[in-house]
Amino acid sequence: MKIALVHRRFTTNGGTERYLVGLTRFLVGAGHEVVVLANEVREDLRAEPGVRFVPLPMWRPAKSLSLAWSVRRALRAERFDAIFGLGRHTGHHLYRAGGGSHEDYLRRAHRWRRWAWPGEWIERALDRAAVLDARICIANSELGARGLSAYGARRVEVVYNGVDLQRFCPAPLVRAEVRKELGASGPIAVFVGNGFVRKGLDRALAALPEDWGLWVVGGDPPVPAPSRVRFLGGQRHPERFLQSADVLVLPTRYDPFANVCLEAMACGIPALTTSANGAAEVLPEPWMVCDDEAALRAAFGRLTPELGARCRAVAELYPPERSYRRALELLVEASR
pLDDT tens for residues 3-29?
A: 999 999 999 888 899 999 999 999 999
Q: Is it the case that residue 113 has pLDDT exceeding 60?
A: no
- Measured CA to CA, the distance from residue 126 to residue 147 in angstroms comes to 15
Pick from 99-108, 131-140, 225-234: least confident: 99-108
Q: Give the pLDDT confidence score for residue 63 in this predicted structure.
A: 87
Q: Give the pLDDT confidence score for residue 12 in this predicted structure.
A: 87
Q: Is it the case that residue 179 has pLDDT exceeding 90?
A: yes
In this chain, the answer to whether the domains covering 2-162+319-334 and 172-315 adopt an identical fold is yes
User: What is the mean predicted confidence (pLDDT) over 171-197?
Assistant: 96
Q: Give the pLDDT confidence score for residue 110 in this predicted structure.
A: 67
Q: Is it the case that residue 111 has pLDDT exceeding 70?
A: no
Q: Give the pLDDT confidence score for residue 62 in this predicted structure.
A: 81
CATH architecture entry for 172-315: 3-Layer(aba) Sandwich (3.40)
Q: Give the pLDDT confidence score for residue 60 in this predicted structure.
A: 77
User: What is the mean predicted confidence (pLDDT) over 185-209?
Assistant: 96
pLDDT tens for residues 122-141?
A: 888 999 999 999 999 999 99
| 121 band by pLDDT with thresholds 50, 70 and 90 | confident
**3-state helix vs strand vs coil in the chain, percent to 5:** 45, 20, 40
Q: Give the pLDDT confidence score for residue 27 in this predicted structure.
A: 98
Q: Give the pLDDT confidence score for residue 88 in this predicted structure.
A: 92
pLDDT tens for residues 289-303?
A: 999 999 999 999 999
pLDDT tens for residues 69-95?
A: 999 999 999 999 999 999 999 999 999
Q: 108 or 140: which carries more pLDDT confidence? A: 140
203 backbone φψ class: left, alpha, beta (φ>0; ψ -120 to 50): alpha
The percentage of the chain sitting over the pLDDT mark of 90, rounded to a whole number, equals 89
User: What is the mean predicted confidence (pLDDT) over 275-302?
Assistant: 98
Cβ-defined contacts of 320-324 (< 8 Å, 24+): 320/22, 320/26, 320/162, 320/163, 320/164, 321/26, 321/162, 322/162, 323/19, 323/159, 323/160, 323/161, 323/162, 324/22, 324/23, 324/26, 324/27, 324/162
To the question of pTM greater than 0.85 for the whole model, the response is yes
Q: Is it the case that residue 120 has pLDDT exceeding 60?
A: yes
| 66 band by pLDDT with thresholds 50, 70 and 90 | very high
- Tell me the pLDDT of the chain averaged across its residues: 95
| Domain residue ranges in the chain | 2-162+319-334, 172-315
Q: Is it the case that residue 115 has pLDDT exceeding 90?
A: no
| 155 band by pLDDT with thresholds 50, 70 and 90 | very high
Q: Is it the case that residue 170 has pLDDT exceeding 80?
A: yes
Q: Give the pLDDT confidence score for residue 116 in this predicted structure.
A: 53
Residue 253: DSSP 8-state: S
Contacts of 309 (CB under 8 A, 6+ apart): 268
Question: For 2-162+319-334, CATH number?
Answer: 3.40.50.2000
